[in-house]
Amino acid sequence: MQALEETVPALFQTALAHYHSPLQAIEKIWQHPGMIPVAITPSPEVIWLDVKTYSFTEWKFRYSIKNLINSQGLGHCFSSDIQLLMDDGVLTNNLLPTGFVFHMSKCGSTLMTKALAQLPSHMTVSEGTPLHENLWQYLTCHWQQPVALIAHNLVLIRNLILAMGRRRLPEQQHFFVKFRSWNVAFVEAIQQAFPNVPCLFMYRDPAEVLVSSLNKSTTGQSRLKDSGAAAFITGHSTEALKTMGDLDYFASLYEHYMRCGLSPAPGRMHYLNYKQMTKANLAGILQQAFGYRASATDMTLMQAQFDSYAKDDSGATRFTPDSLAKQKQITPEIRAVTDERLMPWYEQLEHSNSNLNNGLS
């Protein structure tokens, strides 16, 4: 999987060559309404780019950035120390998030954000690059300890997300953030940074999720295996991960994701099974999960996304249900691991008082 710095290296080269002091950076941010963080380097430094009025409708944030640069050129960019995010001066005309989407992977979260992105009044960040490994490596002291729930860390998380959500067009009124699946490991810190933002955790029959992951030679989850992130998330040593088979590895990840999804205090998170993520249920999901009501016209625009495969930004690929096909690919080994390690967590999600299943068709 290519990282943003690999797909648009000119962005990083130019931004790092134009390092700004805090005063210079804040002045540039206020001069350019589209100036937002688009990546964090291992240093760590923040890469800032003027995205102008570009609408982020692609299924991943980094694809939006790449397409923006390819279509409009590089424009204004610079880098700053990550501590700049501690200064509220980076915040100007920022939208408070309407809702956060967490998920266990392969369970309809991309469809959710692509549907939300259909409206000009919605700003969506789907797996934002600044929320990738380098941020959490910094906050965990290189994966050595949990994120300390102290003011410094919570302000940094809050200001980073708010800075990504600058209102760049007058019609933008709602801001939704979909995190990467493994970001749920940091749900407590994220929720403490935004105590009033509604959260949704999406999940699916874990045997089907395992089939999806095992069928792909490279995934974001696979890349984590070669970094300290996977050891931090699963609790296994780096050495153990090197010799661990894919089935055990993915099961370890998904076990942790579901456990973390269940960890928030009652009322802090709602749960949605992939089976309930349908066109007919969308209005009820948004209302129950985020307290958000859309007009009939807006709902029709969002529901249209359900007819297309969410991970094809061209819209040319029609969506085809795949649960039955995945069920047929469940081997005895996958079933045994699922039943022993994952189904207990799945059942807890299913029977949670915060599950949306009871209110949906």
pLDDT at 357: 85
Q: Residue 209: is its pLDDT beyond 80? A: yes
Per-residue pLDDT reduced to its tens digit, 231-244? 999 999 989 998 99
Count of CB atoms situated within 10 Å of the CB of 307:
10
What is the three-class DSSP state of 263? coil
Share of the chain above pLDDT 70, in %: 98
Number of Cβ within 10 Å of residue 31's Cβ equals 10
Residue 235 · residue 319 · CB < 8 Å:
no
Whether 217 shows a pLDDT value over 70: the answer reads: no
Is 60 exceeded by the pLDDT of residue 1?
Answer: no
Model confidence, pTM:
0.97
Cross-sheet strand order for the sheet of 77-81: 35-40, 45-50, 77-81
Provide the token pair at 62.
């980094």
Q: Which CATH superfamily is domain 94-359 in?
A: P-loop containing nucleotide triphosphate hydrolases (3.40.50.300)
Write out pLDDT tens, residues 5-64.
Answer: 999 999 999 999 999 999 999 999 999 999 999 999 999 999 999 999 999 999 999 999
pLDDT of amino acid 220? 67
Q: Which residues of 32-65 are buried (b: 16+ CB within 10 A; e: fewer)?
A: bbbbbbbbbeeebbbbbbbbeebbbbbbbbbbbb
pLDDT computed for residue 219 by the predictor: 64
d(CA 291, CA 301): 19
